[in-house]
Amino acid sequence: MAELSRGKLGWALIVGRGVLIALLLGIFGAAVATLTWDVVQRPRFYCTGAKPLEIQGKRTGFARCESGAYVRQEAVECPNSLPSPGHWISRYDEERIRNQRLVKNHPELAGSVDVVEKDACRSDADCTGMLYGSCRRSRPSGPNVCIPGCVKDSECAGDEICVCGEPVGECVKASCKTNADCPHSACAAHATDDACGLGGFSCLSDDDECDEDEDCGACACAYDEERKVRTCTCRACHS
């Protein structure tokens, strides 16, 4: 009788181990399948090694990927350092200073050299008539202009997000708000260099031909509005 009980216990242990192994294999298999499916679904250009970006030691919700792509991981309130000290130097500032020096060294040229102030503002104090107004140099080499700012998405249009920056955020067109809107992908800026503006944000796609300027040799990776893809372009910034 004792041997029979031990036999039943042995079979129970064997069956129990079998069930446990099957369960573990099932869980492992499901995890592998999920990971494999996630990798398969990722676009050719995928954000890896993202490093969160901070301004004044504060989170911005944005990050820079290993590839250089600029992505938005989460929506947080942007830092605000308005008003900025001093004023922005513009092309017209530089031209005026150069002409003033010319007239000083050659008085006979006085009246023939244009030294008229052409900037719309000299400092942030000139831009208080708009929300988070700041005086900035217009891209790429225009005069100083007043630009409205933001610290959160609700202060922008419905198809825009508030992109954090110095001295304050700026509303930018976006078809996605954060990475959560881009399954297996990332909500990335259309340009990796802010010199000509980020251009907007959309999900990285398999149709993209680049995701950083280094993919384009001497040109830049930019968003083609007609084709709705990122592509290499040698087009210069608009003045």
Task: Dump pLDDT digits (tens) for 115-147.
Answer: 555 778 888 988 999 999 998 877 666 678 898
Q: For residue 238, is it within any domain?
A: no
Q: How does pLDDT run across 28-51, given as a tens digit for each residue?
A: 444 443 434 344 445 556 678 889
Evaluate whether residue 74 is within a structural domain: yes
- What is the per-residue pLDDT for 144? 83
Whether 6 is in a domain gets the answer no
Q: Is residue 211 part of a domain?
A: no
Q: Please indicate, yes or no, if residue 225 is contained in any of the structural domains.
A: no
Q: What is the mean pLDDT of residues 1-21?
A: 50
What global pTM score does this model have? 0.67
Residue 102 domain-assigned (yes or no)? yes
Does 122 fall in a domain? yes
DSSP state of 138: P
Does 45 fall in a domain?
Answer: no
* Residue range of the domain that includes 146: 51-186+193-203
Strands (E), the chain: 51-55, 58-64, 70-72, 134-137, 144-147, 160-163, 170-173, 187-189, 201-203, 220-224, 229-233
Q: How many domains does the chain have?
A: 1
